[in-house]
Amino acid sequence: MGNFTKPVGDTDFDSVVLQSQHPVLVDFWAPWCGPCISIGPSLEKLAEQFQGKVTVAKVNVDDNPEISARYGVRSIPYLVMFKDGKVTDTVIGAQPPQNLQKMIERAL
């Protein structure tokens, strides 16, 4: 994890994601998932680019089964955009950076 993405889990998901003043892009991932690792640098760049406007949070599905189950995570990477505590967009699988950027821009 880099300097701009924020790790979240079962204990702080609601406060960090659902109660955020800004939209939050949540990356459900695992360290053994190749596609998850491959999009990590893109997510880090987007987190830096949209710093102060959007939070990019990362949920390790192995360490946080409760929140992963709550959102029905079956395939990873699973990216979920939250705005005002509600899901506004989802995408499964590694995505090109421009798709992720469009997902963020739609939430702003």
38 exposed, middle or buried (CB, 10 Å; 0-12, 13-18, 19+)? Answer: exposed
64 exposed, middle or buried (CB, 10 Å; 0-12, 13-18, 19+)? Answer: buried
- Phi first, then psi, for residue 36 (nearest 5°) are -65, -45
**36 among known catalytic residues:** yes
Q: Which of 8, 25, 26, 36 is catalytic?
A: 36
Q: Answer whether 56's CB lies under 8 Å from 25's CB.
A: yes
Rg for the chain (alpha carbons), in Å? 12
**91 among known catalytic residues:** no
What is the mean pLDDT of the segment spanning 34-41? 95
What is the mean pLDDT of the segment spanning 15-42? 96
Residue 1 has pLDDT above 60, yes or no: no
pLDDT of residue 9: 96
Q: What are the structural domain ranges in the chain?
A: 6-107
CATH topology of domain 6-107: Glutaredoxin (3.40.30)
pLDDT of residue 3: 79
pTM above 0.85, yes or no: yes
Q: Which of 8, 17, 33, 80 is catalytic?
A: 33
pLDDT in tens, 38-70: 999 999 999 999 999 999 999 999 999 999 999
